[in-house]
Amino acid sequence: MSTTGTTSNLDFQATRVGLGEDIVVFNRFKLKRILGRGGMGVVWLADDQTLAREVALKFMPDLVAGDQTALHDVRRETRNGMRLSHQNVVTMYDLVEENQSAAIVMEFVNGPHLDAMRRSQPNQVFEAAGLEKYVRQLLDALEYAHTTVGMVHRDLKPANLMVNQDDVLKVTDFGIARNLQDTMSRISMKLNSAGTLVYMSPQQLMGEAPSTSDDIYAVGATIYELLTGKPPFHTGDIATQVESRVPPRMSERRQEFGVQGEAIPEAWEQVVAACLEKNPRERPADIQAIRDGLRGLRFKRGSGETKARRAAKRKAAQGEGGMSFTKLAIAAAIVISAAGWYFGRYLPEEERKLRAIEQAAVREEGETKAEKQARYDLAEFTVNIAELKKADPAEFSSAMERRELWDSLLTKLKSVAVAGDENWTRLENDAKKQRRQAEDDENAEQAEYEQKVLRLQGAIVVPRDAAKRDDLNAGSKKQEWEKFLTEVQSAGFNAAYGRKHKAIEEEAASEYNRWALIALNESPATMVPPNLVVAAKNMAAWSAAEKEEIVRRVQKELAASGQFKGKVDGKHGKELHDALIAYQQKQQMPASGLIDDALVSRLKIDQTKPVIAVASTNHGGGSNQRQPSQGGGQVTAPTGVQKAMMWLQFGEQIGRTRNSLMGR
């Protein structure tokens, strides 16, 4: 994931000075390289050493990280962002804080944003045919956020629309960027909206409460820029223009800039113009309305659609005398041809109509009115079936959608076909063949969907069981749900075949968010005194020297795995404490910083009570102080008295074990 944008007087704001490649931050993330920087902070690519994956770290400016009110806002927006779980939305994993630094952990998108992709196009603008798939994915993401989660983005622009290596669009910075800008403005008492002013609706510019209509305006401004090379308003007093001026049509703007290319579809011109209306009641009512408009269909606007206006439109559309049979047939044909809009073909309607009319005009002398109409219908259906057969199956959202379209076409065809006419029979058989193929593909996709659901229903047992375990902390449980949630989101479900996967995904997202919030509130373990670090139950009564030997054994094992870099001396300090915490987190154990039973077992530490040599007086009158050797915890050979004491203790232990087994 990367960030770009126009900087301002608050540019970068000394965000976490001293960061560099290969530095480990927050005791977990190893920095690799800067992905982007701007007025709202710096974004680094980092290795998550706990989950072994690449992530994007968006560091908060010091101005924000040092202000408790600002941090509270960021925490709130991060929690809101973590509720979003959609294949076209960048996943927000966590908010991490350390001393005076804070960063948002999010999914790394390995690819460019749409603004960079636009600049790489032949004329530095997209054509509608090439942009359509990205617009469709953007609308899917916004519809999910608006209707399912109830969130508004508030900062849509080409630089916030990433495209990964699989050509999947990802919307980033849901609510975060605008919230940071508002916070920075509050703290610094400066207006910090220059970078995104050109995408803001008049209502957002005036500081009104966020609304989905703001995102709809931004969608229009974004499409406008991607198709023309510039936002609707880009020079002069932008704020005044946003509030009062109507931007030129996109084709006019292209002509003004001398941009050559394919003609922009009229349907796109109308929808973008509607999105950019000053009055939100005149904009498309919702995301579905934008979809309808781009397909060439009539789309619903906001509450500005009064009864009088709707009545006037109906009257104009129908005419004073109502519709004749011919007009109805033409209208039906146009509806079918409008399907071409949906599959990415933008200008065939008029061409198909003209061809159909030309063929219908070729008639024999004495032909009846019904025969003329049948010839017209036959020509129109021939063109439509040919167009649909050429359509790439990949252009459909599912085989079910393709099959339903053939069903619709067959129904209309039967309603106007001439019985016994071999031309109509041929067309009908051709359409039925295509319909059967689509149905076979639909059944295969349905079976694939069910198999994926079954696989996830088995896999979800792992995080569910982890959530019930008392020996795992909240961070470990969050990681288990996070891994499963990633698996669900990468499975590639087609929502046309059911919502079983959504129930699984919603449970995973809910559980992940629940444990993530608990983990945010968990305090890191503080270092205990040296005499308390050995907390294994069977070692509680051991002497300080015996516990020191256990500490040495633990140090040795941690050093062998590269986790501990200090001296293997049996002494407990901050270096060993940090190594214990890091190891326990890596192993998804409670990060207590203690040498407890779980850690001793996981490291396979020898739990035999160490024999510590004591000072004794030899027969030669000199002292013979025996010390544990420094190599591997070995000690000198015990004296005869010590051996006797060892056998006595061993016998007592055997006796206790025997009595316990016999129930005494």
Looking at the structure, tell me whether residues 393 and 335 fall in a common domain.
yes
Looking at the structure, tell me whether residues 312 and 375 fall in a common domain.
no
Does the residue 640 lie in any domain? no
Q: What is the pLDDT of residue 644?
A: 52
Does the residue 536 lie in any domain? yes
Residue range of the domain that includes 468: 460-521
What CATH number does residue 308 fall under?
A: 1.10.510.10
Range in 169-173, 255-259, 276-280, 362-366 with the lowest mean pLDDT: 362-366
Does the residue 474 lie in any domain? yes
* Higher-pLDDT residue of 266, 39: 266
pLDDT 10s digits, 485-502? 888 888 888 888 888 888
Which residues have a Cβ under 8 Å from the Cβ of 591 and sit 6 or more positions away? 473, 475, 524, 525, 581, 584, 585
Helix (H) or strand (E) holding 293: helix 287-294
Range in 34-48, 173-187, 239-253, 523-537 with the lowest mean pLDDT: 173-187
Range in 58-62, 169-173, 286-290, 301-305 with the lowest mean pLDDT: 301-305
Q: What is the DSSP string of 540-575?
A: TT--HHHHHHHHHHHHHHHHHTTS--S--SS---HH
Q: What is the mean pLDDT of the chain?
A: 76
What CATH number does residue 28 fall under?
A: 3.30.200.20
Q: What is the pLDDT of residue 517?
A: 66
Residue 312 has pLDDT above 50, yes or no: no
Instruction: Among 504, 521, 538, give the residue marking a domain's end.
Output: 521
* Higher-pLDDT residue of 420, 103: 103
Helix (H) or strand (E) holding 623: strand 623-624
Residue 284 has pLDDT above 50, yes or no: yes
Q: What is the pLDDT of residue 129?
A: 93
Looking at the structure, tell me whether residues 227 and 315 fall in a common domain.
yes
Residue 615 has pLDDT above 50, yes or no: no
| pLDDT (mean) for 198-214 | 89
Percent of the chain with pLDDT over 90: 27
Q: What is the pLDDT of residue 8?
A: 35
* Higher-pLDDT residue of 422, 126: 126
| pLDDT (mean) for 440-445 | 89
Looking at the structure, tell me whether residues 513 and 531 fall in a common domain.
no
Does the residue 662 lie in any domain? no
Q: What is the pLDDT of residue 286?
A: 93
Looking at the structure, tell me whether residues 363 and 426 fall in a common domain.
yes
Q: Are 190 and 10 in contact (CB under 8 A)?
A: yes
Does the residue 181 lie in any domain? no
Q: What is the pLDDT of residue 1?
A: 52
Looking at the structure, tell me whether residues 285 and 410 fall in a common domain.
no
Distance CA 275, CA 282 (A): 8
Looking at the structure, tell me whether residues 533 and 476 fall in a common domain.
no
Does the residue 631 lie in any domain? no
Looking at the structure, tell me whether residues 152 and 301 fall in a common domain.
yes
Q: Are 635 and 629 in contact (CB under 8 A)?
A: yes
Range in 34-38, 506-510, 629-633 with the lowest mean pLDDT: 629-633
CB neighbour burial string for 648-662, b if at least 16 within 10 angstroms, e if fewer: eeeeeeeeeeeeeee
Helix axes 212-228, 250-257, angle to 10 degrees: 40
Q: What is the pLDDT of residue 31?
A: 94
pTM: 0.47
Does the residue 630 lie in any domain? no
Does the residue 638 lie in any domain? no
Residue 544 has pLDDT above 90, yes or no: no
Q: What is the pLDDT of residue 92?
A: 87
Instruction: Among 563, 591, 610, give the residue marking a domain's end.
Output: 610
Q: What is the pLDDT of residue 298?
A: 83
Query: What is the number of domains present in the chain?
Result: 5
**442, 459, 451, 443: which is closest to 492 by C-alpha?**
451
Query: Which single residue is written with the structure tokens 């001393």?
Result: 99
| pLDDT (mean) for 377-397 | 70
Looking at the structure, tell me whether residues 59 and 136 fall in a common domain.
no
Residue 140 has pLDDT above 70, yes or no: yes
Q: What is the pLDDT of residue 387?
A: 66
Task: For residue 42, list its beta bridge partners.
Answer: 37, 59
Distance CA 394, CA 273 (A): 29
Looking at the structure, tell me whether residues 260 and 364 fall in a common domain.
no
| pLDDT (mean) for 586-596 | 80
Residue 652 has pLDDT above 60, yes or no: no
Instruction: Among 473, 489, 521, give the residue marking a domain's end.
Output: 521
Looking at the structure, tell me whether residues 16 and 82 fall in a common domain.
yes
Neighbours of 168 (CB within 10 A): 16
Looking at the structure, tell me whether residues 79 and 118 fall in a common domain.
no
Q: What is the pLDDT of residue 20?
A: 83
